[in-house]
Structure 1
Amino acid sequence: MNAYMGHDGEPMDGACLVFANTAKEAKRLASPVIQDWMLCEYIDVRVQRIESPAWLLENAADQEKLARGEPHVVENPPTCNGCELWHDELIDGYCESCEEERTGGNDG
């Protein structure tokens, strides 16, 4: 199963996480959610495949649906405590960029 980000053209304004087998299936699942949030048309809804979905599969997907191979939408995936985005792995509640900023880098 692939992970996709569904949005209306601007993910920063709101995006849902979709687990689906194809982009077409992901758009079909994401559309009602995005259309409800943004009051947009089906044609405005976009999906982008997430290239490294392992963390999202493990931490955001509905594990029962995933085990059954059932495509589904996650409207509120875990978000970073700093930037409030969900596209990336979280380390103690923060994405890599915010964690580095918060801790001062620690490389040296």
Structure 2
Amino acid sequence: MTTKYREMVSAATLTNSPVSYYTSPGGTYGAIHAASITNPTGAVVTVDIYKVPTGKAADSTTKIASKSVGVGATIAVPEVVNHKLEPNTQLFADGLACTLNISGVEYVPS
């Protein structure tokens, strides 16, 4: 068994539509430990985060958090903490020009 702490998403600049920023490798399980969003823009932005299993899409059925981020603010996203990721699960997000960071752990069973 191997356990590795890692940054799953590191300072990703989000777009206005959902994009995949992390995929749990095949044979690897993951868990989210922390997430934060920064809004460097001059307007309030809504950021959505999705946990998307294989064969699914980033939509209302896979959304795990939706946060309104104020101008110049950095916020934590506790709604995503402790979500578990099966192999090949992807993390998608959207929120024009905001920056996303997600850290966690990957576990490879022996």
**TM exceeds 0.5?**
no
Higher helix share: 1
Which fold has the larger relative contact order, with Cα–Cα distance below 8 Å and residues 6 or more apart in sequence?
Answer: 2
Q: TM-score band, normalised by the shorter chain?
A: under 0.3
Higher strand share: 2
TM-score (norm 1): 0.26
TM-score (norm 2): 0.26
